[in-house]
Every structure is written in C-alpha cells, then in structure tokens.
Chain A
C-alpha cells in the first residue's frame, strides 16, 4: 500500500454498508490529508435517489436491478461533475461509496457478476480502495448509505442475511482487489511511515 493515502490526483474508494461509518472514515481520511485539497464525493450527488424518495409511495418498488442502474447513473454524474474535475485539478478525491458497494449489493441480490462488471466499466479504477466495517455508532454523523437506502426500499424478509452476504463480499475484496479494511491505525501507520 502507498504510505500516503491522500496524494494529488488520487481517487480513493470507501466501500461499506453503513452510511455513517463511511462518513466517519471519510472525515478521518480528510483530516489525515489536510495538507492537500481533499474532496469528498458522496452517493446521490445527482439527487436521483432523493427525488425517487419524494415520489408516489403507492408505486411498485424498483427491483435491485433498477436500483443498480440508477446508482450507475448517479455515479456517471458524480464522475462527470465532482470526481474527474477535482482529480484534474490535482485534488485527492474520496468517493463514498464508489463501485464495489453497488456490486456487493447486486451480487447479494442475485444479479450476475458479468452484468455488474460490464455496467460499471465506465468507472476508472481508484488508486486506493478501503472497506469500512465500523457502523459509525457513537458518532454524531447521520448519513444514510446506499445499501441502507436499498434495504429500506426493498424491505427484504431477512435483512441480516442480506447484510452478511454484502459484508462477506466486501471482506473478500481484500483478497480479490487489494481493497484494505479501513482502521484508524492504518492512518497512524501511514503517518509514521511518511515521517521516516
């Protein structure tokens, strides 16, 4: 791993179930990279999901596939208006979340791996990827994550099972994609390494 997570032109993906947990991790990362201009791109930057939530509640709920298509639309928007312009200016950008959270949700909902990979192939690979296990409890941060939103929309019969499947997928990212588990110690170690 690079000893300095936040570097000029770096795109960092933060993936995880808990919106609050992700925002706490993003805040820590931002503080860690305070010498640099660090931008945070949150999900629903395009307000698609906000507008969807304000729609007619009596309508049939969207399926996981429709939700993933809408997430991809939102990510195109974020890349176009938030992420790429900031990277071009040499900023470090933290994407909360990026691709893998949506892929984890899609896989847990039974969508084919190949379909998901092809759908998100427009998204450039981040320089670094972390997955956040902590739910962000005890912090004052209030944020609903994409997965929490989907869970509320779909109202699955066994939400704990859905969460554990997603968690399992995110844990496996470490092995498959070099996506590290995010811990505060990780940043302390990075700071120590950068001082040496």
Chain B
C-alpha cells in the first residue's frame, strides 16, 4: 500500500502533467496594478478592446467586486469599523471567491482574464497599513501568478493631483484609519506614498512590467501592446500547481479532471 505522502506526490506529478497538457488551451491572466490615479482602468479598457479585436474572448475582474463579499466590505467601510487585519482578511476572501468562481473557470476554458488590480494591491495596501507581509501573503495563498503584471508607475504627487481633480478620497482610500489625519487629501498623500513604496518593492521582487504612467494615454497603450506580444507566458505546471490543484479539488464541474487525478 502506498503511503500518504507518496500518494500526494503521485497526484501532484499527474497534475503537473495535466497542466502541461492544458498549457496551450488555457487562457492568459494579465494583471493591471498601480496606485489610484495611475490610469490603469483607462488602459485596461483599451487593452481589453484590442484583445477582443484580435479575436480573444476576454473576462474582466475588478478588485473588491465579488457579489458575495463586496456587500460585507462596503457595509463595514461605511461605518469605518475595519481594523487593518479585518480589512486584509475580507479582501483576501473576496479575492479567493473571485479566483475560484470567475478567474480560474475562465482561464480553464481558454478565455483571457484581465484583472483590474490583483493580489499585489492587497499586499501593497496591507503592508502600508503596517501588517506583516508574510502573514498577508499567507492570507492570499495559494497564489495564482499572472502571466503578466503591468505596473503603472506614478509619483505620489501625480496620483494625488489626479485624484484631487475628480473627487475627495474616501476614508480607507485615503488611509485615514492609520494616518489619523483629518484632512483626506493630506492623509491620501501620506498613505499613497507608503503604498507606492510597497508597490515598488513588490515590482522588483516579482519583476512586474513597468509602464511609465506619466506618458500620454496613446504611448502607454502602444507600449502595453508591444510588451504583451513579446512577454512569454508563465507555465502553470511550473508556477501555479498549488493554486490550480486547490481549485480543481473542489470545482464540481471539473469532475473529469478529478477522475484523472
């Protein structure tokens, strides 16, 4: 009789083989990251339209948007009751739910998923709120690495100026829960400076593709297209075995895969 670790090892090996076979059929996951006011959403929309014009089926997923968890977060933000740990865990739950119900099913079916903010948003903001990055990483584990991460780099001044031109930053967006500053604009500037520092560090470690978000919209879009076409995909069998296995083990519609395992 095989011992449990041996059975698991064999299951993992079979999964790796299965993922390698699936590699050409699966969709690509592209993440757009960066501070508020960096122009991600504008670029994400242009990019999506371009992908569709190229004949790809595209699914978009936005930060904090799951129909299950978002209402919980919204209600707690409204009464300003969240501490950094609750803020982190609720966003991690929202992310996990979207990953399991939107992102992975779409990728498995060969669709391209464009994420308007991905887990790095959670990591940067939670670290800026003073949480231990290892603990935050664990809350988001197992991680599903995107094929590409476009990081829209702007200075705190530009981010603050662009946001101030259109609206007053909200309480948590301005980081008023931790800066304790009454003025949302002052607080936003202080908080976004920390968030950008965290983003820059993550960008180095995880080798994001940096887009100079101070450029014109047109120039940014052109460089995104170019970078997308020349960047190789990240093989699932190499990077994402844990995350995909975690999902496949529970996804009822993946019965055929479970039988294969």
Cα-based distance from A115 to B156 in the complex (angstroms): 35
A139 to B187, CA, bound (A): 54
Q: DSSP class of A's interface residues: helix, strand, loop or mixed? A: helix
Which one of B68, B93, B100 has the highest number of Cβ atoms from chain A below 10 Å of its Cβ?
B93
B118 to chain A, nearest CB (A): 17
User: Which of A52, A63, A77 touches B100 (beta carbons < 8 Å)?
Assistant: A63
Size of chain B's interface in residues, with CB distance under 8 A?
Answer: 25
Query: Given A69-B92, A69-B93, A73-B90, A121 and B72 touching (CB < 8 A)?
Result: no
Question: Interface residues of A toward B: which range?
Answer: 20 to 34
**Complex partner residue of A115 from B101, B134, B138, B250, CB under 8 angstroms:** B138
Binds B, one of A54-62, A93-101, A163-171, A183-191: A54-62
Given A51-B71, A73-B89, A110-B249; A60-B96 close (CB under 8 Å): no
Which residue of A59, A70, A76, A77 is within 8 Å of B93 (Cβ)? A70
Is A80 engaged at the interface, CB distance under 8 Å to the other chain? yes
In the complex, the answer to whether B86 meets A73 with C-beta atoms within 8 Å is yes
Interface string of A44-79 (1 = CB under 8 A from B): 000010011001100110111110011011001100
Q: Does A118 contact B (CB under 8 A)?
A: yes
> Is A122 on the interface with B (CB-CB < 8 A)?
yes
B232 at the interface (CB under 8 A from A): no
Q: What residues of A have a CB within 8 angstroms of the CB of B96 in the complex?
A: 63, 65-66, 69
Query: Are B89 and A51 in contact, CB atoms less than 8 angstroms apart?
Result: no
A-B residue pairs in contact (CB < 8 Å), sample of 7: A55-B67, A55-B68, A55-B71, A73-B90, A77-B86, A110-B249, A122-B135
Name the 7 nearest CB pairs between A and B, nearest first.
Answer: A69-B93, A73-B89, A118-B138, A60-B101, A76-B85, A66-B96, A76-B86
Hey, which bits of chain B sit against chain A, CB under 8 A? 67-69, 71-72, 75, 83, 85-86, 89-90, 92-93, 96-97, 100-101, 134-135, 138-139, 141, 246, 249-250
